Amino acid sequence: MDDNDIQQIVPRDVLVKQGISAVTYLAGGAFLLIMTVGARFSLLGIILSLAAMVLGIGALLSRDREDKKPGLILAIAGILGMAIRFRIPLLQSVAGTVLGIGAIGLFAAGILKGIKFLQGLKSRR
């Protein structure tokens, strides 16, 4: 048995943080996809956009640096959702594209973080 056969066991607290982070990013991506479609409807668009802004601001105020990235994306998404809903000329034209790119980015980050979590989980067996 050489040094390559020995794997580092990922500490439980790191594993928990990785798992929560992966789920958060994936949920944020799903929320942005739903919000992109929902922003075009009156009340639903307003509710989803306000929810994105509130959740985003809450994450920005978090102490954890990992929460700030998706928080910024959600806060901006809320503003863009309002731009779509209220047909603000300059923002409305790019809002849908930016929301789609944000959703894809959050999904990609969530998948990568999920892979990291699964690798860490495997190291504990």
pLDDT of residue 83: 84
pTM of the model: 0.75
Give a yes or no: residue 26 inside a domain: yes
Residue 106 placed within a domain: yes
Determine, yes or no, domain membership for 1. no
Range of the domain at 52: 16-123
Assigned domain for 9 exists: no
96-124: pLDDT as tens digits: 888 888 889 989 999 999 999 999 888 87
Q: Say if 73 falls within a structural domain.
A: yes
- Overall number of domains in the chain: 1
> Is 11 within a domain?
no
73-95: per-residue pLDDT in tens? 888 888 888 888 888 887 777 88
10 domain-assigned: no
Rounded distance, CA 95 to CA 100, Å?
9
DSSP H/E element including 53: helix 42-60
How far apart (Å, rounded) are the C-alpha atoms in residues 37 and 113? 26
Instruction: Give the separation between CA 99 and CA 116, rounded to whole angstroms.
Output: 26
d(CA 26, CA 104): 10
Residue 58 lies in a domain: yes
